Amino acid sequence: MRYIGLMEAKNTISQMRRGILEFCILCILEEQEVYTSELIARLKQANLIVTDGTLYPLLNRLQKSHLLQYRWEESESGPPRKYYSLTEAGQRVSEALSKAWGDITESVEIIRRGQEHE
């Protein structure tokens, strides 16, 4: 019984991380244009470890949704690099998600602390 509870917790944690990955990517791109390996490094630095198999489909979906764009830049030490940045629509979505994140985290903390919402 104890093992099943731990497995369920790990599954829920995994779902939570996947659920916020898009928001985290948009937050990173709000700051600056980013090359894919830099994006992966920033996510790993924040303990949001992702694989190429997770990241690239998500970036493609965000690009097809017109939330981000990319440009190619020649590299001195290898193939050209793809740099991602937010579009105006992506900026608006990121701002809306930031507000929602603040509201959600506030609500969760209210529940965790057993307080009533003021």
- Measuring CA to CA, which residue among 90, 87, 101, 78 is closest to residue 20? 101
What domains appear along the chain, each with residue ranges and CATH number? 21-113 (1.10.10.10)
What's the pLDDT tens digit per position in 3-39?
Answer: 667 777 888 887 888 789 999 999 999 989 999 889 9
pTM of the predicted model as reported, rounded to 2 decimal places: 0.81
- Measuring CA to CA, which residue among 1, 22, 12, 8 is closest to residue 97? 22
What's the rounded Cα separation, in Å, for the pair 73 and 52? 20
